[in-house]
């Protein structure tokens, strides 16, 4: 099982980090060891002084696929959720300046929060969903999947050109603006529409 993540998929987030708008989806992968275990706190790693939360909509692949056409992509997932792509921003910046891969900043143990799954059928349109993150009861990120540069089915089509998608693989579809540093004793709560799907304590 692999976690396939899409970077720079919301224009306002691209602007806040002064990144270039991509001409194709930006892809990176987290190993399954990055998954934060249920009911466990997130421990800020000792190699970073600037870990950021990035709330994202997630989809879980339900059958094997390769070179999936966009018009068939909706058949390859039936569950949807929200999660966090924790990012050691200081480490990432150092790596980017040297033209190196991001894995140390994105794929460390506990860097992937996966919320409770809901049936896709619960929602009228996956391309028109609201999702959000509260930090200490304050709304810090609020996104709409309608604002994605690359929608879910487009992402599945593009990713499957390069990687065979397998049952249980999870796609992180990108984060909206509002990312910020987490500190010890923060509480992070993620929502899809009005449904709370995860609650994480930071240590």
194's tokens: 């009005």
For 77-121, the DSSP string reads: EEEEEEEEE-EEHHHHHHHHHTT--SHHHHSSTT-EEE---EEGG
Find residue 181's DSSP bridge partners. 52
Q: Judge whether 6 and 155 are in contact, CB under 8 Å.
A: yes
- Rounded to the nearest angstrom, the gap between the alpha carbon of residue 143 and the centroid of all alpha carbons in its chain is 12
Number of domains in the chain: 1
Domain that includes residue 67, residue range: 3-201
Read off the CATH number of the domain in which 105 is found: 3.90.850.10
pLDDT for 88 equals 98
Q: φ, ψ for residue 167 (rounded to 5)?
A: -60, 130
For 146-174, the DSSP string reads: GGBSS-HHHHHHHHHHHS-B-TT-EEE--
Q: Judge whether 176 and 149 are in contact, CB under 8 Å.
A: no
Each residue's pLDDT expressed in tens, for the chain with a length of 203 residues:
999 999 888 877 667 667 777 789 999 999 999 999 998 999 999 999 999 999 999 999 999 999 999 999 999 999 999 999 999 999 999 999 999 999 999 999 999 999 999 999 999 999 999 999 999 999 999 999 999 999 999 999 999 999 999 999 999 999 999 999 999 999 999 999 999 999 999 99
Q: Residue 106 half-sphere exposure, CB side, CA atoms within 13 Å?
A: 23
Find residue 148's DSSP bridge partners. 10
Angstrom distance (rounded) from CA 158 to CA 69? 9
């Amino acid at each position: 099982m692999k976690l396939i993540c899409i970077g720079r998929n919301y224009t306002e987030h691209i602007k806040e980090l002064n990144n270039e708008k991509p001409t194709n989806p930006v892809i990176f992968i987290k190993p399954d060891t990055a998954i934060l275990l249920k009911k466990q706190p997130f421990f800020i790693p000792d190699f970073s002084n600037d870990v950021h939360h990035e709330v994202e909509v997630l989809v879980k692949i339900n059958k094997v696929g390769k070179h999936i056409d966009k018009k068939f992509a909706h058949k390859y997932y039936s569950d949807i959720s929200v999660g966090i792509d924790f990012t050691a921003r200081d480490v990432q910046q150092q790596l980017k300046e040297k033209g190196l891969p991001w894995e140390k900043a994105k794929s460390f143990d506990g860097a992937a929060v996966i919320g409770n799954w809901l049936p896709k059928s619960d929602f009228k349109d996956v391309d028109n969903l609201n999702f959000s993150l509260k930090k200490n009861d304050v709304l810090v990120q609020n996104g709409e999947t309608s604002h994605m540069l690359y929608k879910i089915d487009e992402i599945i089509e593009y990713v499957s050109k390069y990687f065979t998608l397998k049952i249980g693989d999870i796609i992180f579809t990108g984060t909206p603006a509002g990312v910020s540093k987490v500190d010890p004793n923060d509480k992070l709560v993620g929502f899809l529409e009005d449904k709370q799907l995860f609650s994480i304590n930071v240590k």
